[in-house]
Structure 1
Amino acid sequence: MFIVSLSYCAPLSVIDKYIPEHKTFLEKHYGNGNFILSGRKEPRTGGVIISTINDRKQLDEVIAQDPFFIEALAHYEITEILPTMAAPPLAFLLQD
């Protein structure tokens, strides 16, 4: 599982032009189970994605499809996490 932290490196006026394409990218990966949570940072300097992907190479291939990545609008900091505790509704995220 990975936490993907995006930091914008372009003005919000440019970011906003790509929000619809970015949303389509997110919806695709919610639909196939790769993402379980995402949202923008406050203040609006970027966003965060929680991914259930367990392979860094696969995650990199997915992130390479993000319009923000393709257009070089954001920097990506990726942190792997191996969950060991969770609230009952999130127990499915725990490693065996």
Structure 2
Amino acid sequence: MFVVTMTYTAPLVEVAPWRPAHGDWLNDLISRRLLLAAGRQVPSVGGVYLAAGMPVEDLDQILATDPYVLNGVASHSVVEFVPLLVAPGLEDLKL
């Protein structure tokens, strides 16, 4: 499993035009359970995603298709982890 942080690399005025396409991209990944959660950072400097377990190379390929990345207004950082302890009802997140 992965925690992905997305950081804006351009002013918000340059990010804004790509927000609808980025939202569609996130919704597609969530519908396919490639991402399990996504949201904005506070303050608004980017976002955070929880990604399903997969080869890191596959995740890198997915992240490269982010409209924000394609348009040069954001970058991603990836941390892989193994969930050993989970809240009741989230046992399927454990490997």
Same fold (TM over 0.5): yes
Q: Distance in 1 between matches of 2:33 and 2:9?
A: 28
Are residues 1:45 and 2:45 paired? yes
Counterpart of 1:8 in structure 2 is 8
**For the aligned residues, what is the CA RMSD?**
0.8
Q: Scaled by the length of structure 2, what TM-score is found?
A: 0.95
Structure 1: where are the runs of 5+ without partners? none
Counterpart of 1:36 in structure 2 is 36
1:53 deviates by 3.3
1:60 deviates by 0.6
1:75 deviates by 2.0
Q: Distance in 1 between matches of 2:82 and 2:53?
A: 11
Q: Distance in 1 between matches of 2:75 and 2:23?
A: 17
Q: Distance in 2 between matches of 1:9 and 1:53?
A: 27
Counterpart of 1:21 in structure 2 is 21
Counterpart of 1:67 in structure 2 is 67
Q: Distance in 1 between matches of 2:16 and 2:89?
A: 34
Structure 2: where are the runs of 5+ without partners? none
Q: Scaled by the length of structure 1, what TM-score is found?
A: 0.94
Superposed structure 1 runs of 4+ greater than 6 Å apart:
none
Q: Give, as a single letter, the amino acid of the residue that structure 2 aligns with 1:40.
A: R
Counterpart of 1:55 in structure 2 is 55
Paired residues in the alignment total 95
Identity of aligned residues (%): 29
